[in-house]
Structure 1
Amino acid sequence: MRIGILGLGRIGVFHAETLSGLDAVTSLVVADPVTDAAKSAAERFGADVADSPEAVLASGVDGLVVAAATDAHPALIRAGVEAGVPVFCEKPVARTIVEGVEVLRAVEGSGVPVQIGFNRRFDAGYVAARDAVRGGELGRLHTVRCTTLDPAPPPAAYVAASGGIFRDCSVHDFDIIRWVTGREVTEVYAVGGNRGAAYIREAGDADTTGAVLTLDDGTIAVVSNSRHNARGHDVRMELLGFADSVAVGLDEKLPLRSVEPGVTFPTGVPHDFFMDRFAPAYRAELTAFTEVVAGTRPSPCTVADALEAGWIAEACTLSLREHRPVTVAEVRTG
């Protein structure tokens, strides 16, 4: 199949490399407002170059990967759907939840599948954790703990356009909590602070946050996020039940150092970036998209799925701002 890629920044090039190595993909066509970026990717991966999204869609692509800037996501998703081409789009659906709802209304009922890029759904550890929960191995859950800690903050321009740490970073934890447990979040209480880069504070954002989520069955989930984790990229999940407990991300590359006498775990080189931590998951995610394009599976993460995590992020943002618990129902619209 022929796949179009819109956006050749860091993640777009990474996706181009992954797609070029999949047996199901026979050719790529790429486009980026920065002509040199498109030409460089084309030379590296043997892709054709188009001068616009419209030209990519007109080139006979079977599927479209949107890796452009977030502000462009809504229009590009719609363009693909209107052309009848299955779309994979990196999260988020849009910069704001209101725009995301507009996208959902525009594409639902079209019959054209859209897959949103929440890669943790394809990580082997999270898949195993979900199987353990759904299979009853843990018994009834009482506590879930999720962690996403970046080794260093993103650039100031990225932070200013990100929508805030809950919408940009924590949203991965919110999505995976829903996906692994099969439960919905009903209420949140969030706190945050600024202990590092001044430009994050100046953008009105926090660089370190914590959130307590109440799930619809009474399970408590605790989410911890930070832009500053000098030891590496730390992404983990712990699920504690009445019958057993499991952890995701507890491997030899865990960016954490034990100070217990005689303990040498972990001994590996710590994960240093999300592309290192989740490379196999990205490959599995895009393999799934080729199956969506082929019509052999439904979208494994729809626009509606992505918006559910977005509502939790909205509730946390409001909770942090107003220093109070917030129900998801309070922020939900449409």
Structure 2
Amino acid sequence: MDLNLSAAQAAVEEFGLRDVASGTSVSEVAAASGTRAVVNVTVSAAHHPVNVEAMFVGLPVLCEKPVAPTVAEGLSLAAAAEVSGQLLMISQSRRYFQGLTQLKALTAELGDIGVVTTEFFKAPHVGGFREEMAHVLLVDMAIHQFDAVWFLLDQDPVSVYCDEFNPSWSWYDGAAAATAVFQMSGGTRYVYTGSWCADGLETPWNGSWRMNGAGASAAWEPVAELLSGAASVSAVSHQPSCGWPGPSTTMLAIRPWIPVMFTLDPHRVGGLQRAWTARARSES
């Protein structure tokens, strides 16, 4: 289905497909093809009308993030799913990356979590509708990290302050940079800083993560994970750089391909220093 029917037909021809129904509405294509479900990968502004039409003709929907560009449209879609009795599922695939799952598994080692930070700096020239979006970084990209921290902490956001802007050299029409500070339900603060027009010193697509807890800190730098799906869990003892003696600070690190050492603070385990290496098994 596409509002531009010639584009839909061109895609069918490009992939050498036959007997593929095409049309400009969900109900039209569903009636012609016997469709049993809808995968909605339209631009975010079209999510609401496409999803509502699909659900009210009796079709469950898997929709690309975000659920909608506004809270009001998101609530309307939730109501439409309840009234129609159809499943509406939003694809937030980044939460299933192995490194993030491993980081979540290590949070118990950190104690109470005070602060989680994500830095995201990329400079893609993607063209098309994204370069015309009003809130391109927040709506199209930062939503991945916001969902990931929700999964990571098992805490709900209760308040947020956000400052978004568009740098003078940006090639986007809308705001391509932002800093947001979330207060989570458990008291943790989540700080996101990002830019989609940051040439040089770019971060991974999933961002650079740091968690600070009462007993230790953790970092996730998912350098190769988008390509491989594999990551290593590793950790190192980080000694204070100052000259006076004191307990070691434990840093847990998650980096693809790099196994390192994890040392517990000897003052926390009765003077017995324990160390081991840990490396995650790659998932197929």
- Would you say same fold, with TM above 0.5? yes
Task: Say whether the 8 Å CA contact 2:160–2:182 is kept in structure 1.
Answer: yes
Give secondary structure in 1 for the equivalent of 2:8.
helix
Give the alignment partner of residue 142 of structure 2, picking from 170, 178, 182.
170
Alpha carbons of structure 1 residues 222 and 61: separation in structure 2 relative to 1, 3 Å: same
Taking the aligned partners of 1:246 and 1:61, their CA distance within structure 2 comes to 46
Structure 2 residue 43 is matched with structure 1 residue 69: yes
When normalised by structure 1's length, the TM-score is 0.58
Aligned twin of 2:111: 139
Higher relative contact order (Cα pairs below 8 Å, separated by 6+ residues): 1
Aligned twin of 1:55: 28
* Post-superposition CA distance 1:203-230 (Å, at most 9, x none): 5x43322122222222121101101232
Task: Say whether the 8 Å CA contact 2:171–2:197 is kept in structure 1.
Answer: no
Alpha carbons of structure 1 residues 49 and 132: separation in structure 2 relative to 1, 3 Å: farther
Taking the aligned partners of 2:54 and 2:137, their CA distance within structure 1 comes to 29
Taking the aligned partners of 2:60 and 2:256, their CA distance within structure 1 comes to 42
Give the alignment partner of residue 17 of structure 2, picking from 21, 46, 51.
46
Q: CA deviation at 1:155?
A: 4.0
Structure 2 residue 10 is matched with structure 1 residue 37: no
Aligned twin of 2:71: 97
- The one-letter code matched in structure 1 to 2:167 is R
* Post-superposition CA distance 1:10-42 (Å, at most 9, x none): xxxxxxxxxxxxxxxxxxxxx223334323433
Q: Which has the higher strand share?
A: 2
Q: CA deviation at 1:188?
A: 2.5
Q: How many residues align?
A: 223
Alpha carbons of structure 1 residues 72 and 245: separation in structure 2 relative to 1, 3 Å: same
Taking the aligned partners of 1:88 and 1:162, their CA distance within structure 2 comes to 24
Taking the aligned partners of 1:198 and 1:251, their CA distance within structure 2 comes to 25
Taking the aligned partners of 1:199 and 1:152, their CA distance within structure 2 comes to 10
- The one-letter code matched in structure 1 to 2:3 is P
Aligned twin of 1:273: none
- The one-letter code matched in structure 1 to 2:38 is L
Give secondary structure in 1 for the equivalent of 2:39.
strand
* Post-superposition CA distance 1:157-216 (Å, at most 9, x none): 53443445333332222221112111122233333444343564xx5x433221222222
Give secondary structure in 2 for the equivalent of 1:187.
strand
Give secondary structure in 2 for the equivalent of 1:108.
helix
Task: Say whether the 8 Å CA contact 1:42–1:49 is kept in structure 2.
Answer: no
Alpha carbons of structure 1 residues 37 and 248: separation in structure 2 relative to 1, 3 Å: farther
Higher-Rg member (1/2): 2
Taking the aligned partners of 2:128 and 2:80, their CA distance within structure 1 comes to 32
Q: Which has the higher helix share?
A: 1
Task: Say whether the 8 Å CA contact 2:99–2:222 is kept in structure 1.
Answer: no
Q: CA deviation at 1:45?
A: 6.6
Task: Say whether the 8 Å CA contact 2:134–2:175 is kept in structure 1.
Answer: no
Alpha carbons of structure 1 residues 160 and 153: separation in structure 2 relative to 1, 3 Å: same
Taking the aligned partners of 1:49 and 1:150, their CA distance within structure 2 comes to 38
Taking the aligned partners of 2:190 and 2:56, their CA distance within structure 1 comes to 39
Taking the aligned partners of 1:251 and 1:174, their CA distance within structure 2 comes to 19
Unaligned runs of 5+ in 1: 1-30, 255-264, 268-283, 285-334
Give the alignment partner of residue 111 of structure 1, picking from 81, 85, 90.
85
Give the alignment partner of residue 61 of structure 2, picking from 70, 82, 87.
87
Task: Say whether the 8 Å CA contact 1:162–1:168 is kept in structure 2.
Answer: no
Alpha carbons of structure 1 residues 186 and 45: separation in structure 2 relative to 1, 3 Å: farther
Structure 2 residue 203 is matched with structure 1 residue 229: no
Taking the aligned partners of 1:192 and 1:96, their CA distance within structure 2 comes to 16
Alpha carbons of structure 1 residues 86 and 244: separation in structure 2 relative to 1, 3 Å: farther
Q: Percent identity?
A: 25
Alpha carbons of structure 1 residues 252 and 79: separation in structure 2 relative to 1, 3 Å: closer
Alpha carbons of structure 1 residues 67 and 157: separation in structure 2 relative to 1, 3 Å: closer
Query: RMSD in angstroms over aligned alpha carbons?
Result: 3.1
Q: CA deviation at 1:156?
A: 7.7
* Post-superposition CA distance 1:85-126 (Å, at most 9, x none): 221111222232212221211212543211112221222222
Q: CA deviation at 1:242?
A: 2.7
Alpha carbons of structure 1 residues 45 and 143: separation in structure 2 relative to 1, 3 Å: farther
Task: Say whether the 8 Å CA contact 2:27–2:57 is kept in structure 1.
Answer: no
* Most deviating of 73-82 and 232-241: 232-241
Task: Say whether the 8 Å CA contact 2:38–2:61 is kept in structure 1.
Answer: yes
Taking the aligned partners of 2:125 and 2:144, their CA distance within structure 1 comes to 16
